[in-house]
Structure 1
């Protein structure tokens, strides 16, 4: 039976949602990508909210396109540092390397996710067999697509924002509403010792899993023809295609 996985970093581990073609649904928390792969290496597709493919000397086209599509919500997509900067030990060293190589600085928020970026990059270097099944997505772009190619008004950190995102997922996957709420209750309580960081982590992982279940025929890829990095990894972000199968404009990095 085909299996589809969505992974979202959730403060202390990767929160995963597993779907299958018969409506099966499972969830779990994994301390590392290696751990998630141990349990789900048989998955047909795994979509993860983490950069795959690191640039050498410029911004990734997919990051630029995603930020422009999201408009006022574009700041939720960080510019991915160059590979050499990702492997530096301090932010100061990484900024100096990135500015010299690509002429842009590293956002402090982007640096906070560098450990996950490095983890995924190392994993794919060690397990090349995962390259055709582990694919980058971004929840803000997924919800933008599910919302009729419009950025959502409410932040995912608010009750209204979580509710709206669950509604959008339920339009795609009818059982998702009740199951999202059950997972939120299970993994975010008690508040003094939650298994995951927030309800937003849950709905983001569900969006990734639902997109994985669609498969490439139901995706839009940013950019439409992604370039590869120096290890041959495609630098792309996938998200649900809308009903008209339209494509976002293939935007180039700024001069």
Structure 2
């Protein structure tokens, strides 16, 4: 998708052969084996139009997979930096006004896909922020992702990142944990298999926040921070799961866990809680066996942190594309080079949900703010469980 320098026209080719003969389509071509998508996009654009990398910056906006056609499509978008003399390779080229009905399948190829892509740019922007390609977020061979923050003078009034610290944010995922680290201003995202692997790899961190229960109640009189968190995000209280008692977490079966929770706390817990019982046990066991990390690895909650970074509760669901984009835009206030589509691609490669990655980044940013004294603990005077763990959450200040 190529916009002119005034951003009021889109570049199309008119196909002279099938498929879609006689219809307008975006320029494009095939990605060669072992070729990077960005490299292919710039190469095909130059071959089809004569537009070089010096004259446009492309952003990876979205992907389509057509399983019944065994076809995978990557979509890139950009704005020309200056007027360019087009060079036709095969299909004639045309600049079309933005008031066209791009969903008109008698004029445009793709069964409505062109209209959908244009609408995405209208609603959410192109993702092009003016950075050099060498500074964009990049997915590495080990499926980790790195991106640099902007210099502090380019950040907005919400705050700047501490460029002299190592801050860690962790969220559980299928098969392990997603770790977002902000190391001296550079974000890196990786998947690790265990808590022990995380602390070994990131030895020397300044602040470590995790979206997992720390401090397990052993009786009704012990109050966790969950009730305080629910008061902050009253519209999204369902995202804060009921925490089981210590006896239930270490039960030998789910049936026994339910029985123990009813016996100790007088209530059951939800099926969603059942899914994270192994993660609760892993983290608690690690902390019991490594006293030096007790009350050093700290609990937080992404939705509460997003509310604090945003100034109000984020009502959209991060499992949906719109919710993902909204949260990435909040995080871009601190890491402007984040891109929703890069995160989606990385989630596929790491076989995790993209919201696991987004949550980990949110906690890493909050950890960085905590290092600067810009966070608070709820409740202000937390209770302590029977093993010495504080039952608290670290969140951003109002």
Please confirm whether the aligned pair reaches a TM-score higher than 0.5, indicating the same fold. Answer: yes
CA displacement 1:220-246 (0-9 Å, x = unmatched): 21111111100110001111112xxxx
**Contact 1:227-1:234 at 8 Å conserved across structures:** yes
User: In the alignment, which of 267, 283, 299 is matched to residue 120 of structure 1?
Assistant: 283
- 2:168 maps to what in 1? 5
Q: Specify the alignment match of 1:39 in structure 2.
A: 201
- Structure 1 runs (4+) deviating above 4 angstroms are none
| Equivalent-residue separation in structure 1 for 2:339 and 2:290 (angstroms) | 31
Q: What displacement does 1:179 show?
A: 3.1
Does structure 1 conserve the Cα–Cα contact (< 8 Å) formed by 2:332 and 2:338?
Answer: no
> Higher mean Cα deviation, 67-76 or 219-228?
67-76
Normalising by structure 2, what TM-score?
Answer: 0.56
Q: Which runs of 5+ in 2 are unaligned?
A: 1-163
1:61 pairs with one of 216, 224, 228:
224
1: CA distance between counterparts of 2:387 and 2:396? 26
Question: Could you say what secondary structure the match of 2:337 adopts?
Answer: helix
Kept in 1, the 8 Å contact 2:189–2:357? The answer is no
Shift of 1:3: 0.8
> Is it true that 1:23 corresponds to 2:179 in the alignment?
no
| Bigger Cα Rg | 2
- Could you tell me which of 223, 235, 242 is aligned with 2:379? 223
Contact residue 70 and residue 144 of structure 1 kept, 8 A: yes
* Map of 1:187 onto structure 2: 346
> What's the CA shift string for 1:117-164, capped at 9, x where partnerless?
00000000111111242110111111111121x221210111111111
Say if 2:239 is the partner of 1:76.
Answer: yes
- Provide the alpha-carbon RMSD of the alignment: 1.7
Flag the 1:196–1:178 CA change in 2: closer, same or farther, 3 A: farther
Q: Which position in structure 1 is the counterpart of 2:270?
A: 107
Match of 2:37 in 1: none
On the 8 A contact 2:208/2:296 being kept in 1, the answer is yes
1:33 CA displacement: 0.7
Alignment of 1:87-236 (within 5 A): 87-148=250-311, 150-171=312-333, 173=334, 176-181=335-340, 183-189=342-348, 194-215=349-370, 217-236=373-392
CA distance in structure 1 between the partners assigned to 2:315 and 2:180 by the alignment? 25
| Counterpart in the other structure of 1:247 | none
Give me the whole-angstrom Cα distance separating, in 1, the residues matched to 2:283 and 2:381.
22
Task: Note the residue ranges of structure 1 that are not aligned, 5 or more in a row.
Answer: 243-255
Greater percentage in strand: 2
Tell me, yes or no, if the aligned pair for 2:166 and 2:207 is still in contact at 8 Å. Answer: yes
SS, match of residue 9 in structure 1: strand
Contact 1:5/1:18, CA 8 A, preserved across alignment: yes
Distance 2:285 2:200 in 1: 15
Give the structure with the larger helix fraction. Answer: 1
- Determine if contact 2:176/2:192 at 8 Å carries over to the other structure: yes
In structure 1, how many angstroms separate the alpha carbons of the residues matched to 2:325 and 2:203? 32
Greater relative contact order (Cα 8 A, min sep 6): structure 1 or 2? 1
Residue 7 of structure 1: CA displacement? 0.5
